[in-house]
Amino acid sequence: MHKVELHSEEGFGLVELLIAMVVLQVALLAIIGAFGAGAVALGRASKTTTAAALADQQLELYRAMPYDAIGLDTANAPTTGSYVSDTSVCPASQTPVCGNTPPRNNSVPSTGAWDCTAASGTTSVSTYFSENGVNPCVAHRTVSGAASPDGRTYTVDTYIKWGALGANQRAVKQIFVVVRDGTSAKRLTKEVTTFDCSTGTPVGSPPC
């Protein structure tokens, strides 16, 4: 006769159960961490995309304007905060602040008659060349609430510099638009566009 060996059918012991729970917990924490990192990355990408759209919107204002009208209200440009602390777009000790230029043409001295602050008139920038209530002369503005595409708060900072980019070249207007997080002031995007006096010049206008 063959002997029949009986095998134990006991389940996990306490030690095995604890080890299994620890392994499961580590796996769950890794999965939760991955989801958290993904959510942060998506949020950052969303902010960056919105910031790029706001920068494009600001530049579109200038693309719809005559060259002479492009400029900033230098008297009301910020002199403190993130607007002036970013030395890549705002060199120190500039007068007016950040070396910005008001509306002007390429002649020296400037004969441009466009006005950032006039409420009316054919040369009023704020009346004739604003879009959706945005005055292109404003150097620093905050976008939040219903005006923000995603409801978050952003700051749109614009810098406009007039001058020649190289030797023996006529002066141009170089526009920098920097969009920052409205809470942390962290830069989200920067766009640069250069306008020559032949850009957007109405038909029949004097040559540059």
pLDDT at 44 over 90: no
CA–CA distance, 174 with 100 (Å, rounded to integer): 10
Q: What is the pLDDT at residue 142?
A: 95
Q: Are strands 154-163 and 140-143 parallel, antiparallel or unpaired?
A: antiparallel
CA distance readout (Å), 192 to 10, 35, 86, 195: 73, 35, 15, 10
What proportion of the chain, given as a percentage, has pLDDT over 90?
41
Q: What is the mean pLDDT of residues 81-103?
A: 90
Q: What is the pLDDT at residue 11?
A: 57
If one compares 123 and 59, the residue with the highest pLDDT of the two is 59
Q: What is the pLDDT at residue 90?
A: 93
Q: What is the mean pLDDT of residues 50-69?
A: 91
pLDDT at 35 over 60: yes
How does pLDDT run across 163-202, given as a tens digit for each residue?
888 888 888 999 999 999 999 999 999 999 999 887 666 6
Query: Per-residue confidence at 79, pLDDT binned at 50, 70, 90?
Result: very high
Q: What is the mean pLDDT of residues 28-54?
A: 80
Max Cα separation, the chain?
120
Q: What is the pLDDT at residue 157?
A: 97
DSSP run (H or E) holding 15: helix 14-63
Task: Report the mean per-residue pLDDT for the chain.
Answer: 84
Q: Say how many C-beta atoms besides its own lie within 10 A of residue 32's C-beta.
A: 10
Q: What is the pLDDT at residue 184?
A: 92
pLDDT at 30 over 90: no
